[in-house]
Amino acid sequence: MTTANLVSIADLSNDEIEEIFDLADASDKLRSKKVGHGKIMATLFYEPSTRTRLSFESSMQRLGGTVISCSDMQASSAAKGESVADTAKVVSSYADVLVVRHYWDGAVQAVAEHADVQVINAGDGGHEHPSQTLCDLYTLRKEKGELKGLNVVICGDLKNGRTIHSLVYALARFGANVVTLAANGMELPHYVLERLEREFQYTLAPVASDDLSAVVTETDAFYLTPKQPHQLALFTALDSTIQTRITSLVSGLRYDAFYMTRKQKERMPNSAAAGDYPIIGSKFLREHRFKDTVVMHPLPRVDELSPELDKDRRGIYFKQAAYGVPIRMALLHFLFEKGRRARISKTANSSVLFESPHPIGPHCPNLKCITVNEPGSTRLRFELQSEGPSGALILRCLYCDHRFKAQLVGQATSKKYCAYDIALADSIARWLKNGELAIFDSIKQAEELGYGPYKSGPRRAIMDQAEVDSAIQQISAQILSDCADPDRLLIVGVKTNGSMIAQRIATHLERAQKRKFELAELETYGAGEDLRRVFPADPELGPIQLRDRSIILVDDVIHTGRTVKTALSIIFRSGRPQSVRLAVLLDRGHRQIPVKPNYVGKHIPTADHERVRVHLRELEPDGVDKVLVYSIISPGENRS
């Protein structure tokens, strides 16, 4: 199987992208030389398209090649239930390259694993659209000279817009800055932000966005740039020094491009699809400071770009669509002629891969992932990432990029499992090397595969039910005494234990104030990338409004501070609250990030090797609260 596929923008290095741009500049030569003569391209589109399919087909024909097309896979045997894997295998016999669009995230990676010919991703669900990014970068470079240092505002549906995800990775690699201006509830997904931070050291800093929101939308803007003040600074919302630094960073900022996107209604439940959406129109055109700001859009547009822009020199989206042909001619030639030396993504090369030794194992939490919707076409493979010396073991889905925390690990030879803990790092590295590492979603899954539990060391109880109750009551009283305006209060629990404690705090406040308080929860890993409303539980209410709110973030234990950092990132992606205060049942120290909780039920001195587990009655079979401290016994010492 060839490796020269374009599934993600990460499959191309910056030099390779520049090479494709040079080829696009010389597309007339490619056309006259008929460099695609004898080649057949198959276009397999499981979703509608105008630009991507037709520009690929036009490109192939201009290169002298031919095209076989399934413009609507509902008219193919996919409608009878044929899998992506079988389709890829079969069509590989008919064509030299497959250009595939699919509605599931990661589906084109699955096609690439089963095809015997080269594969190009023409858009996979809400995940990536790398050939569109080549058109976007080429257009930007043509207009602005170079990409490094440009300030690009991305606007609209940043959550579901696959063009946006590929684009921000590429802009980061070329050293451009990004201002995000998301429609309410459609912020950049957390997994995208994490990757920007991990791979490109980009950090997210809130900016005084009123200048932008006045002309476009009511949402908050964030400035993504390497090595700038981190958003954690906002934890102390009253810290005017930090806010001033951030504001001066962007005051007078030159905006080189506005990249607008449509609301991706096809990827939303009906309730989310309704509501306001930003529009760029005459107000934007009249502002002097945008006189050199080009407006881009991957198209199709719906209502978000006023037709007034069509006649303005700054509206370059039709030019952007026209560049689809020279760019895709260049891409096809690049993959045909030079594909065998095209590198595989840097991430894939340097990453630690885990493949489950069993046919069942951990599941990607993204419900729109191909691994969830068509598991038969995929393999149980993940990239393993460790979050710092005391951190979690994270699995990144190799199909859709979503990340989640490993909870249970096992050893395939001894058939023993236990909760993941950093103390097991050496054992896990050894099991991985020997192909013996198993990871499970649940105890039920481990036991179905014949695994039994490892033993842990002696446990000591440090809080009983009465102490837990009294600590939560005391935290609730402090929150109330600090609360100047109960109408602005929003209590946010970190799932799962933090969420339960948040509900108990809300109940205490409700009793004291004789009124209900708004309650939300968030998940720092897994499918839950958004702030979710818990009370009032009315799906018609839409996204939670954070502007000017006083948030109480609640978790059970604070240790390294990393969970809080992630939780803050999720909150600030959803809006700009007035303040965030942190309430924890237990502070066990050993911080890696300078976060200080405002409300603490109990400080407990623990050794670094010790573990703390909070058992809450809502979640325990015995219905009793308790807090236990215990040590991990290395599985190497405990074969029983």
Binding site for ligand CP (CB under 6 A): 49-52, 123, 132, 298-300
Q: How far is the CB of 57 from ligand CP (least distance, A)?
A: 11
Return all residues near 26 (Cβ < 8 A) that are at least 6 apart.
none
Q: Exposure of 480 by Cβ count < 10 A (0-12 exposed, 13-18 middle, 19+ buried)?
A: middle
Q: Exposure of 164 by Cβ count < 10 A (0-12 exposed, 13-18 middle, 19+ buried)?
A: buried
User: Please, are residues 542 and 272 in contact by the beta-carbon 8 Å criterion?
Assistant: yes
Q: How far is the CB of 570 from ligand CP (least distance, A)?
A: 29
Query: Which three-class secondary structure string do you get for 571-627?
Result: HHHCCCCCEEEEEEEEECCCCCCCCCCCEEEEECCCCCCEEEEEECCCCCCCCCCEE
Q: Which is nearer to ligand CP, 222 or 323 (CB)?
A: 323
Q: Which is nearer to ligand CP, 160 or 456 (CB)?
A: 160
Q: Which is nearer to ligand CP, 73 or 546 (CB)?
A: 73
User: Please, are residues 413 and 430 in contact by the beta-carbon 8 Å criterion?
Assistant: no
Q: How far is the CB of 3 from ligand CP (least distance, A)?
A: 25
Instruction: List Cα–Cα distances, 68 to 45, 117, 270, 535, in angstroms.
Output: 12, 15, 35, 53
Structure tokens at 511: 């009793």
Q: How far is the CB of 52 from ligand CP (least distance, A)?
A: 3
The phi, psi pair for 521, rounded to 5°, reads -140, 160
Q: How far is the CB of 160 from ligand CP (least distance, A)?
A: 13
Q: How far is the CB of 300 from ligand CP (least distance, A)?
A: 6
User: Please, are residues 565 and 388 in contact by the beta-carbon 8 Å criterion?
Assistant: no
**Looking at this protein, which amino acid is placed at residue 166?**
S
Number of alpha carbons in the 13 Å side-chain half-sphere of residue 147: 23
Q: Which is nearer to ligand CP, 101 or 533 (CB)?
A: 101
Q: Which is nearer to ligand CP, 132 or 476 (CB)?
A: 132
Q: How far is the CB of 461 from ligand CP (least distance, A)?
A: 58
Q: Which is nearer to ligand CP, 92 or 320 (CB)?
A: 320
Element (H, E) at 40: strand 40-45
Structure tokens at 538: 């009315």
Q: Which is nearer to ligand CP, 159 or 559 (CB)?
A: 159
CA dihedral 152, 153, 156, 159 (to 10 degrees): 60
Q: Which is nearer to ligand CP, 39 or 51 (CB)?
A: 51
Place of tokens 């194992």: 361
User: Please, are residues 575 and 547 in contact by the beta-carbon 8 Å criterion?
Assistant: yes
Q: Which is nearer to ligand CP, 36 or 298 (CB)?
A: 298
Q: How far is the CB of 123 from ligand CP (least distance, A)?
A: 6
Q: How far is the CB of 358 from ligand CP (least distance, A)?
A: 39
